[in-house]
Structure formats: structure tokens, C-alpha cells
Amino acid sequence: MTDVPPALEVDARGEPAGSVIWLHGLGASGHDFEPIVPLLQLPQVRFVFPHAPARGVTINGGLIMPAWYDIVTLGGPRGGEDTGDVRESAGLVEALIAREAARGVPAHRVVLAGFSQGGAMALFVGTRHHEALRGMMVLSGYEVLPDTREAEASPANRDTPLLFCHGTYDPMVPVARAREAFAAQRRPGRAAEWHEFPMGHEVSPPEIALIRGWLAARLGPELRRDGR
């Protein structure tokens, strides 16, 4: 069994109504999005912010830094992510989902979220997880290993609610790449939302307000009352 990665946690007040597993971007850490938690006003939710393993990143001259996967090249039509790293990190995220279940929060009350590289991992794992999740949130993210999507997609998460947010001036992840990833997941009947913001590779106050409402609609305290 894959070990659970180290993580920062902001626990719920009382028994959690649900959990958000939130993956940081390249070179950051689980502390990156900790300051956002009070702004989301969701005391009934547990937030789990794992730390990515340290590894060399080719596009940064091989510098060792927290990264869910190595990026070998930039500018290609399909990205330059290392396949083995992606699958290794997917195992870490799966271990986090399993730990939430062991702590009383099953997959159908878990939202996978991430920013940039973390958003790519949230989408990768979420679309392949064998149990239905509560939702997937991709912030300034994109798709990795798209050629494996159809063969590996899980029917359990075919219609899982999806939120994409992206900056129209993002210099790191072109908005066109994010739109392509979203289009591959959008289908009739699915609650899939796309939102653009006039910003770069970042998170803005209007985006945080949108995230707060989206998460509240899926992880409200009523989950704890009715046991869903």
C-alpha cells in the first residue's frame, strides 16, 4: 500500500461533513493555500493540504523542489510531464482518499482540488478514481497524459461535478490548454463549470468567492445530518 504523504490539515469543527484534498503547484507546499481556509467560511469541512515529494525539475535546470511530477519540456502540444512521476503521485493522492474513508469521510464526501500542477493531478486522479467523488476543482490547471483518458476513465466519476477556474492572462499555463481540458470533460447532464478571470497564474478574491459558494453547495452541513 502506498504511504500517505505528509500534509498540513485544517480540521473541521466537530465531525466533518466532508473533506477537501487540495494539491499545491510546482515548487510550493501544502502551506500555500492554508490562508484561504478562513475566507471559505466552511468550518464543517476538513481541508487536507499534502506536500509533494522533492524531485528534480528538468525545465528548472534540474533544481530539486516540491513537485508532483517532473516537467521535461515546455511548449509542446501535450505538455512534457514525466509519466512515471504522474502515476507515482496519483498513488499518493489515492492513499489520501483512502485515509479519509478510514477516518469516516468516504469518497462521495471528498472533493479533489488543486492549483496548476496540483490541478492537473486532481483532474487525473479524480477522473480515474473507482468510487464517486463529491467534486473536482481545477484552478489554473490542465490535463496530463490525455492520451490515456478514455481507456482509464472511471464510470463512477463520469458525471462528478467539476469546476475549472483560469486566468485569461496566465503566462504559465495558457488558457487555451485549460479550455481544452475542460472541453474533454464537459458532457450533457454534467454539472461542469468554466470560469475565466482577468488575472495571471494566481488566485483572485472573486475566484475565492466563487470557490466558497461552489464548495458550500457540495459540502454543506446538511451532509452531516442526513449521512449522505
- The residue annotated as part of the active site, out of 108, 159, 195, 201, is 201
**86 close to 80: Cβ distance less than 8 angstroms:** no
Q: Which residue has the cell 469541512?
A: 45
Spatial CA neighbour of 137 closest among 218, 81, 70: 218
- The residue annotated as part of the active site, out of 70, 82, 85, 116, is 116
What is the Cβ-side half-sphere exposure of residue 36, based on CA atoms within 13 angstroms? 24
Strands 45-50 and 18-23, by their bridges, are parallel
11: annotated active-site residue:
no
108: annotated active-site residue:
no
DSSP for 75-87, please give it. S-TT--B-HHHHH
**40 close to 18: Cβ distance less than 8 angstroms:** no
201: annotated active-site residue:
yes
The amino acid at residue 203 is: V
Cell reading at 194: 468554466
Residues with catalytic roles: 116, 170, 201
